[in-house]
């Protein structure tokens, strides 16, 4: 865990975010009091953050919804 002042974080944000990406926790202080904690995301699969993984793809079998709606409209 690393503690830094707000000014130091603002001037070197990229450096501190790179440390967070490697697993470090950074606590930011303003006037000597903690105001924020930056930590790596909790959910990581195989060391890859969730926002870097591919999204879910939904696949259905059978009739398409649009076909079912059009068929229902024809019956009415």
Kindly report the pTM of this predicted structure: 0.55
Instruction: Identify the pLDDT of residue 29.
Output: 97
Q: What is the pLDDT of residues 23-66, one digit of tens each?
A: 999 999 999 999 999 998 776 667 777 777 777 776 767 767 77
Is the pLDDT confidence value at 76 over 60?
Answer: no
- Class for domain 1-46, per CATH? alpha beta
Between 57 and 5, the more confident residue is: 5
CA distances from 60 to 57, 65, 76 (A): 10, 10, 26
Structural contact between residues 26 and 50, judged by C-beta atoms closer than 8 angstroms: no
Domain extent listing, the chain: 1-46
Is the pLDDT confidence value at 73 over 70?
Answer: yes
Contact residues for 54 (Cβ-Cβ < 8 A; gap 6+): none
């Amino acid at each position: 865990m690393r503690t830094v002042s707000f000014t130091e974080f603002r001037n070197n944000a990229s450096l501190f975010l790179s440390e967070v990406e490697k697993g470090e926790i950074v606590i930011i202080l303003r006037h000597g009091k903690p105001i924020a904690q930056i930590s790596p995301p909790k959910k990581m699969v195989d060391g890859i953050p969730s926002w870097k993984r591919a999204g879910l793809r939904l696949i259905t079998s059978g009739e398409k919804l649009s076909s079912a709606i059009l068929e229902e409209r024809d019956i009415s």
